Structure 1
């Protein structure tokens, strides 16, 4: 409260004779308090924090009520310490009081000023006196609340009471009020009502100032929030505009549904934000107009607004960050052009360093080779021409050249065999002069190989002799090149271009030149290049190959299915394609080749013909399995006849199913190794013969075979019975013998009766044997004849 207000209140109290507050009844105190509060509250501006104001007013009302209760109690019980002190000291201190009143002037509210005002006045006065180098004779401490002396204080003589006393019977929750009273040095128990009012007014004034500052702070915060929201909305509008443009470009239209939807969302968001801002402003206006708005509602609104801002930030991270940076840095923007100036200075500094480094490099590489430089295989980085001369000379002393090539060929040439030597005639210095020194930075980007420029000499005649003896010219390493040709790929089920074979046929002149250049470059390990070999005549990219493939595809529908009883073989496009000649070394002319058809038939016969194959039989002689080789028994395809037939079939582009090839010889069956279930077994060692059916012996007999001592031994093996007949005459050199049963199985060798043989078996064949036939007792031969069939296998073994 200002001095004027206090003065006015004091004068009004004096006029109404209310200076003695302690004699006022409870009703007057309450009316005075309500009048004072109404007067002060009318002057205070509306506050946002209603809960805080309510708490302070409650504390003030509580203190005031406490004081009023005590005043009433003191009047009713007549125990007021101030009245007792007045009665006791009225007589004894009357003279002392008059003396002191004369000595000092009464200090009233008219003379009270605030500490701040007095200090400012003193500071201005002292500053003025200091500038004049003078001293203030009336330099006294300012009049403060501590110097307040009421009329009753003077009358009672208690103006010199202790300044600080503990306040009793005050609730512990009013610690803030106790501190204020202690700072003000006011004893509530002994203070008159005017002083209590002054204390309350002082507190109300402080609260008023605090609320004004708080209101300014909240207005500042609201302004910052509004700025953030405006920046955010601007960023969102820009973002939606960019999205709309991008979608229009992608869809090739001026407008797209998605941008419209985005715009609707944008409008919805803006309307919600506007409504939210209006609600917040409305809430703030209501808080300013109504002090009864609870703190919980205000806090809830603040939390809700903060959560909304956080959600917006989460959805648009980059724009929020930009907006925040703009707002936060509004008051501290960098000086315009400062970064450009710094960047310019930095560029100048870097350019200066680069120029200095380049000049230093030029000085270094003036007499030295660049980095990544190799001369005749010698690493020449930062070396001088003199260093290269020495290294090249040392290298030729123990020189050896190793060469590899196609078909795993390996060759080597010793330097001593060709008289190699290095001549120091300035060739290394010339290489450095040609290299220069200005382009040294470029050497770090790529390697440089310099070969053949050093002066290396050799004996050409010796080199030619060595070259002729190289392994590359040996016939076992030479292979003719094969041009690209079309072939059928079984995996792809289509024709493809085979790249052919590069071959390994050397060209003597090219080999000689390559070896000479390698020696000149002092190379130690090289490989014969493609130029050293004879090249393919036609490459895989020859357009004529496609024409040849088109002609071959005309036979894709030709199919021949061979029937071999146990299985079938299908000669399709894969096999048919191999029957054609394609002139890959000429003009790629396509022609059906009988030789290649014959090759196919031969491969077919090799797989399905059993002629002369080894077989395992259930031997009656040994009682177990017996492997027998040789002979002419089995299936045999007639290659020439089948070749002619198949050639005509393919040429006519015809197909055939279940074709049985033309056989030169057949067997009993395709089952059981072609032997069937019966055969005749002849053991030349035991001179015995058996007829076996289903693994059982039906007939057996001793025999006499061919005489080996005269060169007429019976040949072992498996043979088919050619035929059988009765009453045949066997003729040969110097003999003619009639027989009753004749069953030939190996040309002129067969089974027959022999009336001239008195006995059979044993070792008689060694001195009285036949010309190769199997002589059989007459009593047994008839039985064999009856069981034997044409084509039946006859197994002969020792």
Structure 2
């Protein structure tokens, strides 16, 4: 064989290859490349018309797949969503994207999948199915490792940063939102692992470190109340146990703070607790709660105390939020008050700790006794008529001390020698404190509205 003939062989081979390449390129100008997928349907080597026919036949079998690391977690028939597709547009778009001159690339790498173009979707059906998927994912997450943010917690007696935890649980809220949009676009699947929850607060977060400093400040503050003239310290270990760090914020356990404030009220509220009183003749006595009292306003105090503590600064002399006629800011009775000793049938008026006036009195008879308690003169009136079911008594001086009609007044109908002793048992009042007229006039002028009245 001559040299020329040998040279013709490669040329012929090249011509054959070029011819085959061109033939294939021309063929794929009107047909889909190998491994071409539209939705979940293989349209390889089909013409546009053939692909449209096949898709129209199989469209009811189309499913939307939820994948977990490539494996099918759930399949949702698209017809259950009431979806309609624009097959013509989908096929034309897919054909326009392929390059027939690169037909050989489909044997190396499959062409990018084309999703069916959706015309519309039934929103009600979509929402119903998404609710169902959400419930399945919530159950699915229970068996997976939960992602946790870095946090500040009390451990081994001190607060420290606990590192974040990267789990493999799914952020269901983000997934459901993305899946709904994906379905509306006509896509065929979605991958769960793209929605694994990620910690948003890391142990290296500067704000977390600052909060740790703030927490330690809060846990170490010195704090106390001033209640009825007494200092009431809040235990440091108790305050430290209230501190929490949640969602990137320093706060206090509100239920624990409320429990403490309620205990404070149970111990000190003068509306429910008796008051210790140093009497003139009988030493220290216990006087029941009366009209002059206060109660800690629990919810308001919880909010205000929380705000105060979170400042991270020492405080003392705090007066709790309260409601009532008295105030916890100072001693309920103080140094100026009226003392009524029922046992001794005697009354004193102390002004700045000194006796300014005293007198024997007549209090309620056994059937209508004068109630004991810490009261106060809430009004002063002249020339009143005191009325009851079986009486109407005019008086010159009237000083009510509670809300049931009990008060201090002059009693001109009583004999001068009747005041004091045991006369209350026979000529006693309906509950009021009968006072000699001349003494009552002096007392009326000496006192101010608001003066405490201690009856025991």
Normalising by the residue count of structure 2, what TM-score does the alignment of the two structures yield? 0.42
The structure with the largest strand share of the pair is 2
Normalising by the residue count of structure 1, what TM-score does the alignment of the two structures yield? 0.26
The structure with the largest helix share of the pair is 1
